């Protein structure tokens, strides 16, 4: 069981790799999951929920490898209230320095109807599964899913059963973002006061943001006695997302005068992991997002600018350095060397090896030849380019696009498909449409385009464009990304990146699911 000798210490339970990844299109590759887990461990997160081991062989392998590699954090896997789920979860986490099994069942009337269990039958299931988990692992967390819509008497009853069966952490999920701060605090407070044995366990809160109150509800739960917050980087998660780690951590840090609780998170590493999660998930951070948004420390109003210049505290309640924003934003240029680029990457939170630096430096020089100045955001975008998924059987070799006011656009695309060069020409309603049609001629597919999104990385007509493309095929959802000063090229490369990821997803759910290398032709 996690030690809680300091009653003012709040444990940070990060579920970016489990609940966050469930957000449609946010699926990460195996290597990306391991990288994010390492960053979470390094920044001081107490518990990392690494995945849902029984969901797939890929999820099991990711949780198992994260468990073996963890240095400090408790590594947790999720399991339904079923014995095979719990056994599989234990197999995945058991090699961690500090493993945890997290098992759950939906306890509200709506959720009880799904397995068609009576209250007594569900109570018996909870006793059986928590006991089984506790016999395997001495650190067991239990969650009554949709707790905030569960009848009070029944919630109190099943929490007591879970505690008696050996759960050391009781998590109270607001699964659909239904509660409000006063109610959130009162629910935790009443459970601690009225459930026998509640003073011997840690209560946790898991809030969703459907009504925009996830952070407020989580902090209110802490005021009510919870000592673990479940959250994700950038608030990533299903529907409107989860409680954002950066928001609760910085709220506790900035308003320590009225919230006397502390965390173990090194806040200076927040921006680096925020950027990385945005990259690998394909979910860009909104400009006005609290703490990590592009505009969080920007001031355009004349009154604001004047105040900040005279005294930064007039309009800033936290320093950019507190969340890892570098104060040195001097741009690089085509004469900048490898050492300058490496130093800039380090300032931005990217630790790169010699081989990766060599690759990034080549792309940096190509960009610097097209742009007079390369800013911090350009360098961050560079880290997204050239990062292929586990399969990269599709590559764009060259493109030629004709467009204008007269007639349809025409795109000629040359691609390398499983090592063979193929060329196609297509007309379309604009250069991007024509390019996508040419790619589909080369790589026939039934994937539906769910999202096409373009963001300018910096200002100016020579700014890089970052493009996100989300595809859906037979229930599989993937997101591809790319960046280039040519928006059409970035769009085409993002589309191909998504097709490559789709091929990997097909391979993992179909024949040959254990292969790391897959042929696009074979899967088409």
Mean pLDDT of 273-284: 87
User: Does residue 436 belong to any structural domain of this protein?
Assistant: yes
In this structure, the answer to whether residues 418 and 488 fall within a common structural domain is: yes
- Higher model confidence: residue 492 or residue 310? 492
H, E, C per residue of 250-283: HHHHHCCCCCCCECCCCHHHHHHHHHHHHHHHCC
20, 230 in Cβ contact below 8 A? Answer: no
Q: Residue 237: its pLDDT value, please?
A: 95
User: Does residue 388 belong to any structural domain of this protein?
Assistant: no
H, E, C per residue of 342-408: HHHHHHCCCCCCHHHHHHHHHHHHHHHHHCCCECHHHHHHHCCCCCCCCCCCEEEEEEEEECCCCCC
Q: Residue 250: its pLDDT value, please?
A: 97
Tell me the pLDDT tens digit for each residue of 395-424: 999 999 999 988 899 999 999 998 899 999
In this structure, the answer to whether residues 316 and 438 fall within a common structural domain is: no
Domain region containing 376: 326-383
Q: Residue 506: its pLDDT value, please?
A: 61
> Residue 286: pLDDT above 50?
yes
Mean pLDDT of 32-36: 94
For tokens 């210049």, name the residue. Answer: 309
In this structure, the answer to whether residues 319 and 357 fall within a common structural domain is: no
In this structure, the answer to whether residues 318 and 341 fall within a common structural domain is: no
At residue 515 the predicted structure's pLDDT band, cuts being 50, 70 and 90, is very low
> Residue 160: pLDDT above 80?
yes
In this structure, the answer to whether residues 374 and 489 fall within a common structural domain is: no
Q: What beta strand segments (E) does 95-154 contain?
A: 99-106, 140-145
- Higher model confidence: residue 458 or residue 439? 439
The three-state secondary structure class of 474 is: coil
To the nearest 10°, report the CA torsion of 121, 126, 129, 132: -120
Give the chain's mean pLDDT: 88
User: Does residue 290 belong to any structural domain of this protein?
Assistant: no
Mean pLDDT of 495-510: 76
In this structure, the answer to whether residues 307 and 366 fall within a common structural domain is: no
- Residue in 455, 447, 443 with CA at minimum distance from that of residue 482: 455
- Residue in 172, 173, 174, 227 with CA at minimum distance from that of residue 200: 227
208 is in an annotated binding site: yes
DSSP assignment letter at 21: G
Q: Residue 341: its pLDDT value, please?
A: 86
Q: Which residues of 139-171 are buried (b: 16+ CB within 10 A; e: fewer)?
A: bbbbbbbbbbbbeeebbbbbbbbbbebbbbbbb
Contacts of 442 (CB under 8 A, 6+ apart): 413, 415, 417, 422, 423, 424
CB neighbour class for 196 (10 Å; exposed up to 12, middle 13-18, buried from 19): exposed
User: Does residue 201 belong to any structural domain of this protein?
Assistant: yes
453, 432 in Cβ contact below 8 A? Answer: no
In this structure, the answer to whether residues 357 and 221 fall within a common structural domain is: no
For tokens 């900040």, name the residue. Answer: 308
Q: What is the CATH number of the domain that holds 441?
A: 3.30.160.270
Q: What is the CATH number of the domain that holds 71?
A: 3.20.20.70
The three-state secondary structure class of 303 is: helix
Q: How many separate domains does the chain show? A: 4
Tell me the pLDDT tens digit for each residue of 305-347: 344 445 555 556 888 889 988 655 567 888 888 888 888 888 7
> Residue 300: pLDDT above 90?
no
User: Does residue 289 belong to any structural domain of this protein?
Assistant: no
> Residue 299: pLDDT above 60?
no
Tell me the pLDDT tens digit for each residue of 80-130: 999 999 999 999 999 999 999 999 999 999 999 999 999 999 999 999 999
User: Does residue 288 belong to any structural domain of this protein?
Assistant: no
In this structure, the answer to whether residues 102 and 179 fall within a common structural domain is: yes
455 is in an annotated binding site: no
16, 207 in Cβ contact below 8 A? Answer: no
Question: Residue 349: left if φ>0, alpha if ψ -120 to 50, beta else—which one?
Answer: left
480, 471 in Cβ contact below 8 A? Answer: yes
CA distance 215 to 235: 9
- Higher model confidence: residue 6 or residue 278? 278
At residue 508 the predicted structure's pLDDT band, cuts being 50, 70 and 90, is low
- In percent, the amount of the chain with pLDDT more than 90 equals 63
19 is in an annotated binding site: yes
DSSP assignment letter at 102: E
CB neighbour class for 506 (10 Å; exposed up to 12, middle 13-18, buried from 19): buried
CB atoms within 10 A of CB 180: 15
User: Does residue 1 belong to any structural domain of this protein?
Assistant: no
The three-state secondary structure class of 296 is: coil
User: Does residue 218 belong to any structural domain of this protein?
Assistant: yes
Tell me the pLDDT tens digit for each residue of 463-489: 888 898 999 998 888 888 888 899 999
The pTM of this model reads: 0.82
In this structure, the answer to whether residues 245 and 312 fall within a common structural domain is: no
In this structure, the answer to whether residues 350 and 434 fall within a common structural domain is: no
In this structure, the answer to whether residues 335 and 198 fall within a common structural domain is: no
In this structure, the answer to whether residues 271 and 417 fall within a common structural domain is: no
Tell me the pLDDT tens digit for each residue of 430-457: 999 999 999 999 999 999 999 898 988 8
């Amino acid at each position: 069981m996690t030690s809680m000798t300091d009653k003012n210490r709040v444990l940070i339970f990060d579920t970016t790799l489990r609940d966050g990844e469930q957000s449609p299109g946010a699926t990460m590759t195996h290597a990306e999951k391991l990288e994010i887990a390492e960053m979470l461990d390094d920044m001081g997160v107490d518990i990392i929920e690494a995945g849902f081991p029984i969901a797939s062989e890929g999820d099991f392998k990711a949780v198992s490898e994260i468990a073996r590699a963890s240095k400090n954090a408790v590594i947790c896997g999720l399991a339904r209230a079923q014995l095979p789920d719990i056994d599989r979860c234990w197999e995945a986490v058991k090699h961690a320095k500090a493993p945890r099994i997290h098992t759950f069942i939906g306890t509200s009337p709506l959720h009880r109807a799904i397995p068609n269990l009576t209250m007594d039958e569900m109570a018996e299931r909870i006793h059986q599964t928590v006991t089984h988990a506790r016999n395997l692992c001495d650190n067991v967390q239990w969650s009554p899913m949709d707790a905030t819509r569960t009848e009070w008497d029944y919630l109190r009853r099943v929490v007591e059963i879970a505690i008696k069966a050996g759960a050391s952490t009781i998590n109270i999920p607001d699964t659909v973002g239904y509660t409000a701060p006063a109610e959130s605090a009162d629910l935790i407070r009443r459970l601690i006061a009225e459930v026998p044995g509640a003073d011997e366990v840690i209560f946790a809160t898991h809030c969703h943001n459907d009504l925009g109150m996830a952070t407020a509800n989580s902090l209110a739960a802490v005021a009510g006695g919870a000592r673990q917050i479940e959250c994700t980087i950038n608030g990533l998660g299903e529907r409107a997302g989860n409680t954002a780690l950066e928001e609760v951590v910085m709220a506790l840090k900035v308003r320590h005068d009225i919230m006397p609780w502390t965390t173990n998170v090194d806040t200076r590493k927040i921006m680096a992991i925020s950027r990385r999660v945005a990259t690998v998930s394909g979910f860009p951070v909104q400009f006005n997002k609290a703490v990590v948004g592009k505009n969080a420390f920007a001031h355009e109003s004349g009154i604001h600018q004047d105040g900040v210049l005279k005294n930064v505290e007039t309009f800033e309640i936290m320093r950019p350095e507190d969340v890892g924003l570098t104060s040195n934003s001097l741009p690089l240029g085509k004469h900048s060397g490898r050492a300058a680029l490496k130093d800039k990457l380090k300032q931005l939170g990217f630790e790169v090896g010699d081989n990766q630096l060599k690759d990034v430096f080549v792309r940096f020089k190509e960009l610097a030849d097209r742009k007079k100045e390369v800013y911090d955001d350009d360098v961050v975008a560079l880290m997204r380019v050239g990062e292929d998924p586990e399969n990269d059987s599709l590559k764009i070799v060259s493109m030629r696009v004709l467009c204008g006011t007269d007639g349809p656009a025409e795109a000629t695309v040359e691609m390398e498909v499983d090592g063979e060069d193929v060329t196609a020409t297509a007309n379309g309603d604009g250069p991007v449409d024509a390019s996508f049609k040419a790619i589909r001629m080369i790589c026939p597919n039934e994937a539906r385009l769910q999202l096409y999104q373009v963001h300018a990385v910096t200002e100016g007509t020579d700014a890089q464009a970052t493009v996100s493309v989300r595809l859906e095929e037979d229930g599989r959802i993937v997101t591809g990304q790319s960046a280039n000063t040519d928006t059409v090229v970035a769009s085409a490369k993002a589309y191909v990146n998504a097709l490559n990821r789709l091929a990997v997803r097909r391979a993992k759910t179909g024949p040959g699911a254990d292969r790391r290398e897959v042929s696009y032709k074979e899967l088409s």
